[in-house]
Amino acid sequence: MISSLGQQHVSPAIAKRFAWLVISMFFAGGVISYIDRAALGIVMPQIRKDLSLTNTDYAIVVNCFLVSYGAFYILGGWLADRLGLRRAYPTLVICWSVANMLHAFAGSLFGLCLCRALLGMAEGGFFPAAIRGATEWFPSATRAKAIALYFCGSSLGSLLTPPLVAWTALRFGWRGAFITTGGLGLLVVPLWYLLHNKIYHTYGRWDPAPVFSSEEEAKFSAALDVPLRAVLRRSKYWLLLISRALCDSVWFFYIFWMPGYFQEARAFSLHLVGVLLWIPYLTADAGALLGAWISSALVKRGHSISYSLRVVLIGSGFFCMIGSITDFIPNSFAALGFVSLALFGALSYGSSINTAITEVIPRKHVAVLYGVTGAAGTALAAISQPVVGHLVDSIGYKIAFVGSGLAFALALTLLLCAGTIEPIRGG
């Protein structure tokens, strides 16, 4: 049967199965992308010694990733809109895999910066594509779980990186670690094409976008057909954007600086990093899943999506602030516990604020406007990286951790100022 919107009728059970398969592929891509971006932090002390780099130089290298990542967050949204998920996914995965392997051939600060920039370009486009996938395949009531699963992929990648990269680097050197991690992305591309061949034979078209294509959604979107410029004039969008940007900048601080912190300030060996530094990322996954479960459970009990998300965001924000006292804790293992609690809150906050953003953005602008929020977060992280590097070189890590707690206090304030989480309407 062909629907009035031009695609074959598919039973809800089959549609749900395909939805979870699509988001599972983005989950797998998220795991690999974070392994590739986080590998640098694990072997940073070895690279610094080999290439004679300072912490400030390392911050410059990180910034090259963040600047290109932020720029392509917006372009990636445009790419997902124009190419569709079927073509955007493999294009981005192949490009970042090759870029990561090129790190093995870097022999100077410039070469390392170039490789990080190329990696950021490809990975920057992947997140907006994943969010578009979640909005195309999942309605509002279940979208928080889908986005949380994707975020867990990001955190699982960070969790797997310390043991994987430490093990590889101890045997093959830091250059061998980049070759190994870079090759992982090439394994998921054939699986993506197999999935989309089945989607085509089931729906009768590529990139069917079941949620966008339903009659109910079409009527809803028509009623909320708000021009792009009108959305950009709304304070609700900008307040959520800045709240997300603050969360992202803190997350990047932990991703890029935590492995080096525990090696340099807490005297962890590379082996101990591999043994223990998966723990904070496991707690982060637990935070994302628990936050999504709580918000979905509240919706099922009759609460609004806005109320449900705000409950989770407020609780998560307070957990994030715990990280501010990490460097004041004398015991290194207790400090690792405080970092774990902070990341528990950070990923719960991150997945929930991203879900909130998809709720307020009109469907037809979701990839591009979501990409703008990601670019803002990356830009703020890029601005902060040289500051962090300078502070670490001169006075240590304490003020950086305190700053992360203050950032989340501000993020919560802006969230509350944004008001009800609901679609932006015209007028």
Q: What is the largest CA-CA distance in the chain?
A: 68
pLDDT at 24: 92
Would you tell me how many other CB atoms lie within 10 Å of the CB of residue 426? 11
Over 271-338, what HEC string results?
A: HHHHHHCCHHHHHHHHHHHHHHHHHHHHHHCCCCHHHHHHHHHHHHHHHHHHHHHHHHCCCHHHHHHH
Q: Are 395 and 164 in contact (CB under 8 A)?
A: no
In a domain, 296, yes or no: yes
Residue-by-residue DSSP string for 365-427: GHHHHHHHHHHHHHHHHHHHHHHHHHHHHHT-SHHHHHHHHHHHHHHHHHHHHH-S-------
In a domain, 219, yes or no: no
Q: Which domain holds residue 165?
A: 13-207+228-418
Looking at residue 162, which CATH number applies to its domain?
A: 1.20.1250.20
Which residues of the chain have a pLDDT value below 70? Answer: 1-8, 77, 212-225, 426-427
Give dist(CA 411, CA 254) in Å, integer. 17
Range 372-398 burial, b when 16+ CB lie within 10 A, else e: bbbbbbbbbbbebbeebbebbeeeebb
In a domain, 398, yes or no: yes
In a domain, 221, yes or no: no
What's phi and psi for 329, nearest 5 deg?
Answer: -85, 120
In a domain, 99, yes or no: yes
What share of the chain in percent tops pLDDT 90? 32
pLDDT at 224: 53
pLDDT at 229: 80
In a domain, 6, yes or no: no
pLDDT at 53: 86
- Average model confidence (pLDDT) across the chain: 85
pLDDT at 216: 46
What's phi and psi for 126, nearest 5 deg?
Answer: -75, -40
- List pLDDT tens digits, range 180-201: 999 999 999 999 999 989 998 8
In a domain, 264, yes or no: yes
In a domain, 423, yes or no: no
- List pLDDT tens digits, range 326-363: 999 999 999 999 999 999 999 899 889 988 888 888 77
Give dist(CA 158, CA 339) in Å, integer. 14
Report the domain count for the chain: 1
Look at the pTM and tell me if it is higher than 0.75.
no
pLDDT at 15: 84
